Amino acid sequence: MSETHVAQTPYVALIPLLPLAGAIVLGFFGERMQARLGKHAVGTLAVATVTASFVLSLIAFLQLVGMEEHAREGGLLVTLLPWIHVGTLNVDLAFQVDPLSSVMILVVTGIGALIHLYATAYMHEDPAFWRFFAYLNLFIFAMLTLVLGDSLLLMFVGWEGVGFCSWALIGFWHTELPNTTAANKAFLFNRIGDFGFVLGIFLLFWSLDAHGHATLVFRHLREHAHLLDGMQLWGWPVVTLITFFLFVGATGKSAQIPLYVWLPDAMAGPTPVSALIHAATMVTAGLYMIARMNFLFSMSPATLHVVAIIGAATAVVAATIAITQNDIKKVLAYSTVSQLGYMFLAMGVGDYVAGMSHVITHAFFKACLFLGSGSVIHAMHHEQDMRKMGGLRPYMPRTFWTFLVATLAIAGVPGLAGFWSKDEILWMAYASPLGGTALWLTGVAVAALTACYMFRQVYMTFFGEPRWNGHDAQHGHGDAHTAHDDHGHGGGHATPHESPWQMTVPLIVLAIGAVLSGLICLPHWMPLSGLLDHWLEPVVKMPEEVHHWKHEAYSLTVEWAVMAVSILGAFGGIALATLVFKTGTIPPERFSNLAGGWLYRGSLNKWWVDELYDATVLRATLVLTHVLAWFDGNIIDGIVNGAAALVRVVSRVEGLFDNYVVDGAVNGVANGTFAIGRHVRQIQSGAISAYLFVVVAGVLGGVLAYYYLAFAGTP
């Protein structure tokens, strides 16, 4: 198989490098710029760099549109410089725009630019305004590196980069302990997932190296992936182990069971952070990775089955928690976890394009919802407890209508973006060879719950009697960090007010996207159907059995029936929320008292998952650290200290031996030599008569010796 032709396109490098330049300038000179030129200059620079990246992303997309379909697989490439050339591993620092990455960079830069604009007003009173935008620009660079990198190694650089930036932004108000605790929690849970991701990369490289094709470049991996077929390790197919390890990484970044608990706590960060990182970009990294590595996941039905089950389970658990939360951002946080589960369900049943469709539509309506919640919090002077809101609709008309449109979209109301992407997922969950009735029913139940808890949020926030006058003495704040979500926005206003244009214009644009973005995933029986399928086809391919079924085995009647069930579920959820939280026809106590109140308490306390982690993983880790500390202090240190004592004893014995034996022998020889010298030197008196006596004695002794030897044997 020959290598895919790739067109070298230098301007592609500017897409990630412009936000990096903004981050560098703001990081090193932002404080002085803010002091001399004002916050307007800082905000303008931050927004301009991301907007310029969006324009270049749009140019790259249009250039791909103008290319022949077979040429889009290679896409547009820029190689900046050689990076790692060691042994059989050859990886360059290169960025590539193909149909899949082109969609992601449009989402990241487009929605990112809107959130940057929103944040210029939202964060305006914060003294560290420049630092916030430095982190935000750096995050955009890291996310663009993740989706544009042409190899797994460069993707991993961006993967770790968004993890670091997420930690910095979640803990942006680092003087408060709950914020730093949430940031550290996000960082640690992501590191657990990243360990699996690294294992997957290593195993993939070593396995291909065994066949003489060691590479981590995506286009080469796609070419040589078939070599892994039939390989086994520890009795398991190698491709199953590789994809499973990669999926572990995805559960960390994209907040799936068991690593999802960091995402709700991440709401400690400023609301623009929640909208950017935890709705539109970072949390989609795991899904993007699976779509990018589709050629490997399609080779392992076992891994896909795990992906589908984990996705469905996460969607259910998060939805059941969201329905009782009272913090306006916590509801959206658990909603995000649930919707991410939907996306993984689509990936698991083999329709990667359906998963990516929901990634795109969710980015619009969830970013709109988060920014809308920020607008509400801004108007309520830091308040996030929905029990202290109500009746805000006439005071915040633009925020209300955009929030309502986004809510209708996520609820799955026909005609809006969320309906089309959810319908595609539910249809595939029902009818795909990798799906099944249980997965489909789970998806329908989640859709109904989503509609219910989202309209509960709308009714508690914008409808009913105002509950925001004189209620601070009646209710305490929910979470410690929520009271400080919007530093500096107090302003002293007694009445809620609409947000400035920098905040409402992004809301309007995102609400329009929540309506129109569904056009990319219309069903096959409608005009303009399959736009995203056709666009991603060169690089995102379904498993063979799913592809054959989807294109050859349509049953229109069954498909409409499945769609009707999902519509009924959505409207049923809306109706239930209306009866309970708007008209009061059904008292909420009827549900909170079910099963003796256990279900309500479990949902309100997030099913005690954090407590379970504390009681098992955390305590076990602490016990292990205490055991290791005791072992280190008593056994290891005992061995080390005992060895040191033995060395000291040996050294003392050696010292005594050296002093008394070795030195004694040396000194004895020296003293004997000195004694002999003292006696011998007495004959050197200087008297001639003494010398003459010695000479005569010597001659006489010699003569006598000669005669003795000569005649001793004569008879």
User: DSSP of 443-483, one letter per residue?
Assistant: HHHHHHHHHHHHHHHHHHHHSSS---SS-TTT---SSTTGG
Query: Are 19 and 53 spatial neighbours (Cβ–Cβ below 8 Å)?
Result: yes
User: How many angstroms separate the CA atoms of 452 and 60, rounded?
Assistant: 40
Angle between helix axes 352-379 and 397-411 (nearest 10 degrees) is: 150
Is 374:272 a contact under the CB 8 Å cutoff? yes
Distance CA 496, CA 395 (A): 6
pLDDT at 713: 57
Segment 310-319 shows an average pLDDT of 95
Q: Is 582 exposed, middle or buried (0-12, 13-18, 19+ CB in 10 A)?
A: middle
Percent of the chain with pLDDT over 90: 52
Helix residue ranges, H only, 482-630:
501-516, 531-536, 544-552, 556-577, 589-592, 598-604, 609-613, 619-630
57-67 residue pLDDT tens: 999 999 999 98
Instruction: Provide the pLDDT confidence category of residue 685 given band limits of 50, 70 and 90.
Output: low
pLDDT at 593 over 60: yes
Please list, in sequence order, all residues whose beta carbon lies within 8 angstroms of the beta carbon of residue 129, skipping any fewer than 6 positions away.
34, 39, 42, 43, 123
Q: Which residue has the tokens 């059904």?
A: 586
- pLDDT at site 473: 34
Distance of CA 170 to the CA centre of its chain: 13
Q: What six digits make up the tokens of 550?
A: 């989807």
Per-residue CA distances from 698 to 385, 449, 489, 695, 705 (Å): 124, 129, 121, 5, 10
Give yes or no for a cis peptide into 538 (omega within 30° of 0): no
Q: What pLDDT does residue 63 have?
A: 94
Instruction: Give CA–CA dist 587/684, Å, rounded.
Output: 130
Q: Which of 315, 189, 307 is nearest to 252 (CA)?
A: 189
- Cα distances from 598 to residues 318, 587, 605, 607, in angstroms, run 17, 17, 10, 10
Give the chain's mean pLDDT. 87
Mean pLDDT, residues 442-456 taken together: 95
pLDDT value of residue 249? 94
Residue 159 corresponds to which tokens in the numbers above? 């993967």
682 and 676 Cβ atoms separated by less than 8 Å: no
Domain boundaries, the chain: 1-80+97-150, 151-489+502-604, 610-683, 685-715
Region 114-127: mean pLDDT is: 92
Q: Is the pLDDT of residue 484 over 80?
A: no
Within 8 A by CB and 6+ apart from 307, the residues are: 247, 290, 297, 344, 347, 348
What pLDDT, on a 0 to 100 scale, did the predictor assign at position 52? Answer: 97
- Least trusted range by pLDDT, from 13-22, 466-475, 486-495: 486-495
Model pLDDT, residue 489: 40
Q: Which two tokens stand for residue 646?
A: 């033995």
